[in-house]
Amino acid sequence: MLYIVGLGLGDERDITLKGLDTVKKCQKVYMEAYTSLLSFGLSANGLSNLENLYGKPITLADREMVEEKADDILREAVQHNVAFLVVGDPFGATTHSDLVVRAKKLGVEVEVVHNASVMNAIGICGLQLYHYGETVSIPFFTETWRPDSFYEKIKQNRSLGLHTLCLLDIRVKEPTLESLCRGKKQYEPPRYMTINTAIEQLLEVEQNRAESVYTEETECVGFARLGCGDQKIVAGTMRQLKNIDFGAPLHCLVIVGQTHPVEEEMLEFYKV
Amino acid sequence: MLYIVGLGLGDERDITLKGLDTVKKCQKVYMEAYTSLLSFGLSANGLSNLENLYGKPITLADREMVEEKADDILREAVQHNVAFLVVGDPFGATTHSDLVVRAKKLGVEVEVVHNASVMNAIGICGLQLYHYGETVSIPFFTETWRPDSFYEKIKQNRSLGLHTLCLLDIRVKEPTLESLCRGKKQYEPPRYMTINTAIEQLLEVEQNRAESVYTEETECVGFARLGCGDQKIVAGTMRQLKNIDFGAPLHCLVIVGQTHPVEEEMLEFYKV
């Protein structure tokens, strides 16, 4: 049996009782380390806190391992109880559909333990989840690659009065260009997009496309370390948020659409 | 201090360790009983399971109590630690913004413990959360009141290729028409919309509006008791799902938009 267990957003105590029961009955415990490593894993502390709580060792599974060795993990799950731990919810912002599909094809039963993800926890700012349109991803721009497909989606959402959640780029264990050429594995240092960079990129695209989808005066909400003890949530215009130091990752950004009175009242508490 | 604690979707063991720590340090524990009472509260068992786990009594707070006596609850929270328990996430499908706004106005600090909600747990069917458009609510039709504003929203979502989550009506503690006339409180028995009723209503509206937004052959996913041990998830056309018995509430429905290959593969596992 393969158990995919959501850990929630903050720290080791955000696992559910059901999740903890599940981990305790597993012979082998993997933890995904390629999206949100940060909250629980990046610090050596994070990982040992989890191991202490579970009373057993955890194998960190980075992107490479999950992609290349999924079948090994799944073969273990034919015989044993295997837990695959995921920050947030197993099917939140990052989905693990691929692992589930492979498991089911191998005849391995899969059970999911849900938890909070950024996709629902953003509700805390008061903007109602059912007033959101399509979620967009903002990738890091490079000298030569400045994709702006998010612009069209934001335009659609705004034309309907809807809020837009912008997920910001995470680059963990990206092979260096040099290593790709040489066939030798070397990795870029991890990078996480800040709210500041996201807003700069958004404004650059608006300047180029000039369809007045949003301006520097458009209301947004910036979220840093959502669900953690030291989370920072600030509402303000793009111009205001652009210069705020939100601190350590992860960051995400909401572009506010039309608001209802109760939404307005809640947002007030987060205003710059 | 007011703690708003998400209980998740299934049973008493879906609370997080942080949530349980929080409840244990509270002098008074309320539980919202007006949306999803069902999963945890409707059965006397559900409630006593929770009380046993927490080691303290819980006061059920129905809609009337929260609306009329919020200030009493909040005044307690000025002096003491008060927990307000919510099925799902505090800011998921049903929001508790109103209580937060009132608390902050009274100078009561508020802390939130997140959990899974239907808004992210639907990810389990394989349709990616960032391919959803605006969420719609389907209200019970009556003889004289057949509102169809969801139709326009579904139309928008489908024109963009997006999936649509339909939240189905819940009527708990609705005053009877007679009681409203007489000024004496009497309530209708609780009603929860089934997937079957939702599809009938959707098809009725399509027949009247005739804008070909969807047909009996449109692919959907029906969810019953999402996140519970006996959850039932079935993918199929409206025609197929219309006749399936999904059993006890709560139900919700997703109208499938354009799908990507991995989404297709996952959906296959749930096909009729």
Q: Which of A129, A160, A262 has its CB closest to that of B101?
A: A262
Q: In what order do the strands lie in the sheet with A136-138?
A: A136-138, A164-168, A251-255, A219-224, A232-237
Question: In chain A, what are the domains?
Answer: 2-116 (3.40.1010.10), 119-268 (3.30.950.10)
Q: Do residues B71 and B102 lie in contact, with contact meaning Cβ atoms separated by under 8 Å?
A: yes
Our CA-based measurement puts residue B102 at a distance from the nearest CA of chain A, in whole angstroms, of 10
Our CA-based measurement puts residue A25 at a distance from the nearest CA of chain B, in whole angstroms, of 15
Q: Per residue in B15-52, is it b (16+ CB within 10 Å) or e — as a string? A: bbbbbbebbeebebbbbbbbbbbbbbbbeeebbeebee
Task: Give the chain A residue nearest B152 (alpha carbons).
Answer: A160
The backbone torsions φ and ψ at residue B245, rounded to the nearest 5 degrees and listed phi first, read -90, 110
Contact flag B115-A115 (C-beta cutoff 8 Å): yes
Please name the residue that has the structure tokens 């990206």.
A174
Look at chain A and count its residues.
272
Task: Give the chain B residue nearest A268 (alpha carbons).
Answer: B101
Nearest to B28 by CA among B68, B82, B66: B82
Say what the pTM is. 0.94
**Per the structure block, which two tokens stand in for B101?**
């706004």
From the first residue on, what is the mean pLDDT of each consecutive set of 10 residues in chain B (272 residues)?
95 95 96 66 68 92 81 93 94 79 92 95 96 97 95 98 96 76 77 96 98 98 94 98 95 97 94 94
From the first residue on, what is the mean pLDDT of each consecutive set of 10 residues in chain A (272 residues)?
95 95 96 66 68 91 81 93 94 79 92 95 96 97 95 98 96 76 78 96 98 98 94 98 95 97 94 94
Report d(CA B83, CA A175) in Å as an integer.
Answer: 47
In a mutagenesis test of the A interface, which of B3, B129, B157, B160 is the best target, namely the one with the most A β-carbons within 10 Å? B129
Report d(CA A169, CA B5) in Å as an integer.
Answer: 30
Instruction: Report pLDDT digits (tens) over A171-211.
Output: 877 777 777 787 777 777 888 999 999 999 999 999 999 99
Q: Is A272 helix (H, G, I), strand (E, B) or coil?
A: coil
Please return the burial class of B127, using the count of CB atoms within 10 Å of its CB with bins 0-12, 13-18 and 19+: buried
Give residues with Cβ within 8 angstroms of B61, minimum separation 6.
B30, B31, B32, B33, B34, B69, B73, B84
- What value of ipTM does the predicted structure carry? 0.93
Which amino acid is residue A73, in one-letter code? I
**Per the structure block, which two tokens stand in for B31?**
């539980």
Contact flag A97-B262 (C-beta cutoff 8 Å): yes
Cβ contacts of A97 on chain B, cutoff 8 Å? 126, 128, 262-263, 265-266
pLDDT of residue A41: 46
Q: Does B86 touch chain A (CB under 8 A)?
A: no
Rg value, chain B, Cα: 20
Cβ contacts of A17 on chain B, cutoff 8 Å? 12-17, 20
